Structure 1
Amino acid sequence: MEDNTKTDNRAEATDKPASQERPYTPPPDNPGSPGQPSRLKSLARAREAQQAGAAQRIEAGDTSGEPSGERDTTPTAQGPESGGEEPQADDEQHADEPGDNDRPTTQASEGPTDPRTPGTDRQQAQDHKALPHRPGTEPTEISDDQTDGPRPAAETDNPDEASDDWERRISGEGLPDDNARVADLDEEALQRGVADRLKRVAARLDRSDQPKELAETVDRPDFQDPTEDPEYVPDRYGTPLERRDGTRTPLFDGEPTREQTEQGALGDCGIIATLGAVAEHHPEAIRDCVREGEDGNYQVRLHEAKYSIPNRRYDPTGRPIKLTVTPDLPVFDQRPDTPAFANSTSTGAAWAPILEKAVAGTDQTWNDERQDKATRIWNARGNPGAAPTGYVRLHQGSNERDRAELLTQLTGRPAKVVEFPTGYDNQGRSADRQLRDEIAGQLSGNKPVLVGTRKLNKNELVLPKKLVDSHVYEVTKVDDKGNIHLHNPWNRRHPEVMSIQEFKANTRPRYTTLE
C-alpha cells in the first residue's frame, strides 16, 4: 500500500518543471499531518493507484506483483477491477438505523489494504481474532478456510475498537467500519455528517433542557375497566385507610415483608409479586421509596429506568420520579373500609396499596413517544382507541420486562430477563441443573426471582401443583433436594413444592431478576 501511494506521488511530481534545486521528496505517508492529504483522500488515492496497477498487470498477463499484505485468495464478490459496480456509500440516515447497521455488509477481499496496517504481521494477527458479537451470543472465530469470503463490516482494523463495535452500531453513533466505502465518500459531506452526529450525541448527553426529576401528583387514576365484568369493577374512590376509631392504617407495621402484599380485584399479579419480592429481599428499598407527609399525602420516590439494548437489561437513568400520592383508593360500596385492589386491611400496612397506586400513576410521567408506543401495542392486539392508563393499564397484566423495569424503579439497580438454559454447559451440567443452580444463586445473593405460568393447553382444566395459569409467582426457595418453592401474591393458595422438571413444564421459559 505504501509503495502504491508513493508511486502516485512521484507521478504527480513529474508534471512539475525541472529545477536545479534538490528534487522534492515527499515525506512518508502520514495522512492528516501538515502538508499531507487527509486520511480519506489518502485511502482513495491508494485505492486508485492499486486499481491502476492491477489493471496494468492484467493487461501484461502478470499477476506476480501483488502486494505482500494481500491475502492469496479468490474473492467471492466481484470488485471494480472485474467490471462490477463500485460500492456506494449508504445515506447518513441509514447509518443511524440500528436495524441496517446490525446486518454485516460485504466487501470484496481483493483490493487495497488499510494504509494504517504497517505490514503483514498485523494482517495475520487479524485473521485469527474474534469478531465483535452481539451480547448474548457466542463470538465467531475467523478460521483460515474462511479468509476467502467477504469480510464482515463488523470487523474493525483497530482491535481496541472491536469490543465496542456492537454498542456503537446499536446506538447509531460512530462511522461505518467499511473503510473502502468511507474512502469513497465526499470528505466535506462526511465531515458535515460527523458534525451532525456529534450534535445529536451531545443533545442526548446534555440533559440541561430536561427536568432533573419527573414529578407528578397521582390523585385518581383510571380504575374502571369498561371491558370487565361490572361485578369485579370498584364503584368509586374512598378512604379505606381511615379507620372507624379515627386512626389511619400505618404506612409500615415493622419491616416490610412479602406477606404484607396481597392482590385484590385488580389483575396486577406481576406488580404485587414484584412489590413483595423486593420487600422480602430489600426491605430498605421499600422504606426509602415511600413516606407519609404531614398533609396526609404520601411521597413516593422511584428511579427512572430505561432499557439498554446492548446490555439487555433495565438500567437506572439517574433521574428520580417523585410522585405525590393522595390517600384515596378505589373501593366497592359494599366494603368501603377495604381497598378494592392491594389489600391493607388484612396486612395491617398501607405501603403496598400506596405503591400500587404510584405504579398505576407512573404513566403520567411518560413522554409522547412512550405513550404512542403503548397505543401501537394496544392496537396491534386488536384493541381500538388509545392504550389504557392508571389502574386499568395494570389490569391488563404485565410481562417479564415490565417486572424488570419495576425492579429497577424500586431498587435503583439493573434488572434483567433471563431465558431458561438449554442443553449442557461447558461444565457438563444439564439444563435442569443449570437452572436450579442459577435460581439458587440469585436467591442467595438477595436477588428476587419472578416467573409466570403458562396458559392452559387444549382440554386442560387446571395446572398441576395448585398452580394458576397465566399467573405470576415469586420463587422463594430452592431446597436441599433441588425442589422449587413459590409464593402466590394472593397470600393464599400457594403452589405445592415441585421438582425442577415440574417447574419448567408449567412456567414460561424465562425469569425476571436483578443483575
Structure 2
Amino acid sequence: MDIPARSPEPSLPAGIAYSDVSTRPLFGDVPFGYGSAQQGQLCDCFLIASLCAVAGTESGTLRKSLTRRASDGRITCGADSHEDTLPTDGSGDIYGTTPDGSSWVGHLEKAYAGHLGGYDKLGEGGWPSAALQWITGRETRTIETATLDESDLASVISSGRPTVATCSGPPGSNAALAREYQVVYQGAHAYAVKGIDADRNVHLHNPWGQFHPKPMSIGTFRELFWRIDTC
C-alpha cells in the first residue's frame, strides 16, 4: 500500500496560525446535508458550495476523502497528508467549519489550499468545476444557463448530481431582481443547487449558512445565474 506523502503545510496570511485540532472528531454524528459545510472568513465560496453540494447528494464521497492516520495522527487526503491542525486567529476557527464541530471541512479546505499553493491563493477565488472534480475525482460539466431552454435547464438542476450555480453581474444589472430573491449579485458568488420542487421552483443553498435565496422560477434562475457546474 502506498503511504501518502508528507505535504508541506499551506502558507497562511499574516496574523493567522495553526492550532492543534487532533482532539476533535474528523466527522460528526449528524447526517450529512447541504448545511454540513459553512464558509468562513475566506473568499472560497466556490469550494464550500461544492462541498455543500456533494454533502447533500453523495455524502459517502466525503467520508472516503479523509483519514486520520493511526500511525502518526496526520490527516490523509488522497496521495497527500498534512498535520492535524487548522488555521485560527486565536478566537477559534476562522475559515471553513461545520455546525457539529467536526473538522472535515477545515481539513478538506486545507488540502485544497495546499493544492493551490496556500490560503492566499485559495482566497483569490476559483471555479466550482475544478473544486467538484477535485472532491469527487470525476469530470465536471460547465453549462452557461443562457444556452439551455427552461426544460433542459430544469432537467440538469433536478438530476440529483452535485451541482453549483454561480451568479455575477455589474452594479445595476438585475440588481433589483437579485435583492427580491436575496441573491448576492455584485461579484461572483457560488451556491449549492438543492433541486426543483413540485411548483418548478429552484432551491439554492448559500455556503455562508444563512441568507439563502428565496425559491425562484427557472426563468428567474436563468436571469440571475449565468453558469452551473455539475458532475
TM-score for both structures, normalised by structure 2: 0.87
Match of 1:350 in 2: 103
SS in 2 for 1:299: strand
Residue 341 (1) aligns with residue 89 (2)? no
User: Alpha carbon RMSD of aligned pairs, Å?
Assistant: 2.3
For residues 351 and 214 of structure 1, do their structure 2 counterparts lie closer, same or farther at Cα, with a shift above 3 Å needed?
closer
* One-letter amino acid of the counterpart of residue 407, structure 1: L
Following superposition, the deviation at residue 496 of structure 1 comes to 0.6
CA contact (8 A) 2:46 2:131 kept: no
C-alpha separation in 1, matches of 2:156 and 2:173: 33
Secondary structure class of the residue paired with 1:455:
coil
Do 2:56 and 2:194's aligned partners in 1 also have CA atoms closer than 8 Å? no
Aligned match of 2:190: 472
For the 8 Å contact 1:274–1:407, the answer to whether it is kept is yes
Whether contact under 8 Å (1:300, 1:324) holds in the other structure is yes
2:73 aligned residue (293, 296, 314): 296
Paired with 1:468 and 1:241, the residues of 2 have a C-alpha distance of 33
> Which shifted more, 450-459 or 471-480?
450-459
- The answer on 1:272 being equivalent to 2:67 is no
**8 A contact 2:34–2:56 mirrored in 1:** yes
Change (3 A) 1:269 1:496: same
- Paired residue for 2:124, among 392, 396, 421? 396
1:432 Cα deviation (Å)?
1.6
State the Cα deviation string for residues 351-372 of structure 1 (Å, max 9, x = none).
0000000011114xxxxxxxxx
Query: Tell me, what secondary structure is at the counterpart of 1:265?
Result: coil
**Number of the residue aligned with 1:324:** 81
- 1:454 maps to 2:168: yes
**Residue 237 in structure 1 maps to residue 14 in structure 2:** no
Instruction: Write the letter of the residue equivalent to 1:217.
Output: S
> Is the counterpart of residue 262 in structure 1 residue 16 in structure 2?
no
Q: Equivalences for 1:183-202 in 2 at 5 Å?
A: none
The answer as to whether partners of 1:256 and 1:286 remain within 8 angstroms in 2 is no
Following the alignment from structure 2 to structure 1, what is the Cα–Cα distance between the partners of residues 142 and 157?
12
CA contact (8 A) 1:293 1:299 kept: yes
Aligned residue in 2 for 1:250:
25
Q: Tell whether the 8 Å contact from 1:421 to 1:434 is kept in structure 2 after alignment.
A: no
Aligned residue for 1:135?
none
Q: Deviations over 1:200-240 (max 9, x none)?
A: xxxxxxxxxxxx99844142x1231xxxxxxxxx6221326
Map of 2:136 onto structure 1: 411
Deviations 1:417-454 (A, max 9, x none): 1232547xxxxxxx1222112321x22xxx11111111
Aligned equivalents of 1:214 and 1:299: distance in 2? Answer: 7
- Partner secondary structure for residue 409 of structure 1: helix
Contact 1:439–1:449 (8 Å) recurs in 2: yes
- Secondary structure at 1:393's aligned position in 2? helix
Q: Residues 397 and 218 of structure 1: is their aligned pair in 2 closer, same or farther, counting only changes over 3 Å?
A: same
1:460 to partner: Cα distance: 7.3
- Kept in 1, the 8 Å contact 2:4–2:76? The answer is no
* Residues 256 and 240 of structure 1, relative CA distance in 2, 3 Å threshold: farther
- Higher relative contact order (CA closer than 8 Å, sequence separation 6+): 2
For 2:11, give the aligned amino acid: D
CA contact (8 A) 1:360 1:393 kept: yes
Structure with the largest fraction of strand: 2
User: CA contact under 8 A between 2:142 and 2:230: conserved in structure 1?
Assistant: yes
Aligned CA distance change for structure 1 residues 290 and 449 (closer, same or farther; 3 Å): same
SS across alignment from 1:408: helix
* Residues 280 and 461 of structure 1, relative CA distance in 2, 3 Å threshold: closer
Give the number of the structure whose alpha-carbon radius of gyration is greater.
Answer: 1
Secondary structure, aligned partner of 1:494: coil
> 1:339: how far off?
1.2
Identity of aligned residues (%): 28
CA contact (8 A) 2:145 2:225 kept: no
TM-score (norm 1): 0.41
Any unmatched runs of 5+ in structure 1? 1-211, 225-233, 243-247, 302-321, 364-388, 424-430
Q: From the superposition, tell whether residues 236 and 457 of structure 1 become closer, same or farther in structure 2 (CA, over 3 Å).
A: closer
